[in-house]
Structure 1
């Protein structure tokens, strides 16, 4: 029987963070959700607020906080390009100062701490598919650098705290993830396409739509994160977490139009600077060390996500930043 743990989830009211909190609460752990609500929604965790083993704290992780915990999942950081480019200095502070603060807490409490890193550490990759040993092709002075380099610096901090202070760390590199509770205006392709299709707007593709992504359903992703936290201490990562099935952005748009029954047309816009042309994870390490691989096909996951979009009132949501 699993012992009850005190678990902190930073960014816990976000899309992935809220599902992680939900899963940990269901496992009877005492869960502290910490969030500053920059891009997240309190409604994502409203159904947990009355539970005795859930606590919500409004706090910005760039400032220190003193808590007593056994495990920390560090998910705090805006993750959509329009959001992290809105205030790039704040974004890199969240990655770097946030990492320093959670690592300091983990060192003091002797807690395990997991960093939610990203496939963006690979930049516009020259290696395909991407393995964890690939060091990336990142523009350190481009418009995406605040996020890409912030997450790379956070990985550095995690490894240095592990080597110098014996902190029990875990690092996961998350590839494109989607599912219910995505913010309708987060600027990601899945939420953009579904929202545009449901209201009958044209679906906007950047470039010619031939760039590729690999889409992992949120339930599969959360299972991988929890499995990584429970991995043996001799496997700290980094480990790629994502779906190795690759789709072009145009294929995704056409599938969304089909599944929604929309009459939306495809329109094309210039490709943003430093936008990766290909993205697909090699998940051999996750299979070997975690016994994990995604189970949800893209069509099935999109149908569940579209059903959720049907269930919400888009008028209750607003773009978190002026970028959308």
Structure 2
């Protein structure tokens, strides 16, 4: 999906949907996270950005810091923390995602995608907030079908060079789906 396609989707969201809502964005100083923070602010949300700058960059959000509806918290999502709520939404985007980082930071990648996801889910549960979990096509590994449909089960090498990222995302994707499915039934 391209930024133009995403911007088209956002243009169809009524500003009143997010206006005045408190939104926690983990990984908010990253490439997608900073764009998410900016978009939510434009829709009138109060945004709390949580990032440890391990792969996110302060320059991605420096232009947001003068906005009174923006709060930056420097924190590793994989370490235990608490935040003053309430939150209406928790958007979990925190993770190193660059293939060049998989060999250098495998433990950090696993932690942000496992323990970090658990912490983000706990905050959402404590606040009865809606939760957005972002995933990746990396969960398919090396697909044999192109384009790859969402129903594709994957061709992942768990001990391969991308395994730390692929498997952590797959594992929590399944858990988040399971929680979501059980709440609907």
> Are 1:17 and 2:33 counterparts?
yes
Question: 1:85 and 1:55 mapped to 2: Cα distance?
Answer: 32
Question: 1:93 and 1:41 mapped to 2: Cα distance?
Answer: 19
> Any residues of structure 2 matched to 1:1-324 within 5 Å, and which?
1-2=16-17, 3-67=19-83, 68=85, 69-164=87-182, 166=183
Q: Give 1:129 shift.
A: 1.3
Q: Give 1:26 shift.
A: 1.2
The higher radius of gyration belongs to: 1
Q: Give 1:107 shift.
A: 1.3
Question: 1:158 and 1:97 mapped to 2: Cα distance?
Answer: 13
Question: 2:70 and 2:130 mapped to 1: Cα distance?
Answer: 19
Runs of 5+ in structure 2 lacking a partner? 1-15
TM-score after normalising by structure 1 = 0.50
Shift >3 Å, 4+ stretches: none
Q: Give 1:66 shift.
A: 2.5
How many correspondences in the alignment?
Answer: 167
Question: 1:55 and 1:119 mapped to 2: Cα distance?
Answer: 31
Secondary structure, aligned partner of 1:140: coil
Q: Give 1:161 shift.
A: 2.6
Question: 1:64 and 1:159 mapped to 2: Cα distance?
Answer: 23
Runs of 5+ in structure 1 lacking a partner? 167-232, 235-324
Secondary structure, aligned partner of 1:33: strand
Question: 1:84 and 1:10 mapped to 2: Cα distance?
Answer: 20
CA contact (8 A) 1:11 1:33 kept: yes
CA offset digits 1:183-222 (Å, max 9, x no partner): xxxxxxxxxxxxxxxxxxxxxxxxxxxxxxxxxxxxxxxx
Question: 1:47 and 1:36 mapped to 2: Cα distance?
Answer: 18
Question: 2:180 and 2:156 mapped to 1: Cα distance?
Answer: 25
TM-score after normalising by structure 2 = 0.85
Question: 2:102 and 2:53 mapped to 1: Cα distance?
Answer: 14
RMSD: 1.6
Q: Give 1:162 shift.
A: 2.2
CA contact (8 A) 2:102 2:161 kept: no
Question: 2:133 and 2:161 mapped to 1: Cα distance?
Answer: 23
Question: 2:102 and 2:43 mapped to 1: Cα distance?
Answer: 32
Q: Give 1:84 shift.
A: 2.9
Question: 2:102 and 2:46 mapped to 1: Cα distance?
Answer: 30
CA contact (8 A) 1:103 1:161 kept: no
Question: 2:32 and 2:47 mapped to 1: Cα distance?
Answer: 15
